Amino acid sequence: MKLAICAGPATSGKTAVLRHVTDKLLRAGKKVAFLKIDVQYAEEDEMFAELFGIPTRKVYSGELCPDHCNVMVLGDAIQWAKKNEADVLLVETAGLCLRCSPYVDGGLGLVVLEATSGMNLPLKVGPMLSLADMAVITKIDRVSQAEREVFRARIQDVAPSVLIREVNALHGIGIDPIVEQIDATDEAPERMLLRGNPPVGTCTICVGKKEVGWQSHFGVVRPLENQTFYRGE
């Protein structure tokens, strides 16, 4: 079974892209399972079940970073998809935590970015872009050709090795290269590792200490006048 994890900012078009991808995979005779990971609300699972009659599930990450939640549940999810005899497991995740990677080694990492989102977005999304295998640019119907190409250049500058493909996810134009990339992905191995390095551990705020100001905290602390440095106290 192959695994593809799809991340991207809210409303960037992840669901729209995956709908067309699912449709094409099904037409090619593949069995697809779909898992949605979100913080507190999602209905994509019901939508995919209704549209395609495929096995779907959702997980709310709640208190946990959605990317970490992904790592926690993915082992079980793969067992679940395999039990359903899926050839491909598609995971749509919010990818809200811009420090963590939503991707794993052994699966395809797709980031969905909208061409309408401003030229600095590629600089802001961190590992969600830089650790992806493929960046899918949606909503190309909403911008001029020139803007679309400049957006592509901005992505390529941040992530030189990421494959970029442009789509109109409303009409399903440009979806084939994504399906080909999934086909070209190796079967998901038994043991998989989270891609990239997780961020610095936990701070005292994570464990419930609510006082404002670094003087009230210990362990990982940081004053304002120090953009990058954290020190142990």
Ligand X SMILES: Nc1nc2c(ncn2[C@@H]2O[C@H](COP(=O)(O)OP(=O)(O)O)[C@@H](O)[C@H]2O)c(=O)[nH]1
The structure tokens listed for 158 are: 């941040």
Query: Considering CB distances under 5 to 8 angstroms, the limit depending on partner class, which of other proteins, ligand X, Mg ion, none binds residue 173?
Result: other proteins
Give the contact letters, 133-152, x = binds to ligand X (CB under 6 A), - = no: -----xx-xx----------
Q: 105 Cβ partners below 8 Å, 6+ apart?
A: 192, 193, 194, 195
Q: 132 Cβ partners below 8 Å, 6+ apart?
A: 7, 103, 109, 110, 111, 159, 162
- Is residue 16 close enough to count as binding ligand X by CB under 6 A? yes
Query: Considering CB distances under 5 to 8 angstroms, the limit depending on partner class, which of Zn ion, other proteins, Mg ion, none binds residue 38?
Result: none
The structure tokens listed for 222 are: 């940081």
The structure tokens listed for 161 are: 């090795």
Give the contact letters, 4-33, x = binds to Mg ion (CB under 5 A), - = no: ----------xx------------------
- Is residue 143 close enough to count as binding other proteins by CB under 8 A? yes
CA 16, 18, 22, 24: dihedral to nearest 10 degrees? Answer: 70
| Residue that the structure tokens 């961190």 belong to | 126
Shortest distance, position 149 Cβ to other proteins, whole Å: 5
Choose, by CB under 8 A, the member of 11, 79, 144, 197 that binds other proteins.
Answer: 144
Interface region with ligand X, contact rule CB under 6 A, candidates 27-35, 77-85, 99-107, 168-176: 168-176
Interface region with other proteins, contact rule CB under 8 A, candidates 52-60, 123-131, 149-157, 204-212: 149-157
- Is residue 56 close enough to count as binding Mg ion by CB under 5 A? no
Alpha carbons 165 and 187: distance in angstroms, whole number: 23
Chain residues in the site for Zn ion (CB under 5 A): 65, 67, 97, 100
Shortest distance, position 201 Cβ to ligand X, whole Å: 30
CA distances from 150 to 65, 125, 154, 165, 169 (A): 32, 17, 6, 14, 20
- Is residue 13 close enough to count as binding ligand X by CB under 6 A? yes
Judged by CB, which is closer to Zn ion: 128, or 167?
128
Do 35 and 66 meet the contact criterion of CB atoms below 8 Å apart? no
Choose, by CB under 8 A, the member of 141, 158, 205, 219 that binds other proteins.
Answer: 141
Give the contact letters, 96-125, x = binds to Mg ion (CB under 5 A), - = no: ------------------------------
Q: 187 Cβ partners below 8 Å, 6+ apart?
A: 1, 2
Closest CA to 92 of 136, 156, 157: 136
Q: Give me the residues that bind Mg ion (CB under 5 A), please.
A: 14-15
Q: Give me the residues that bind other proteins (CB under 8 A), please.
A: 116-120, 141-147, 149-154, 156, 164-166, 171-177
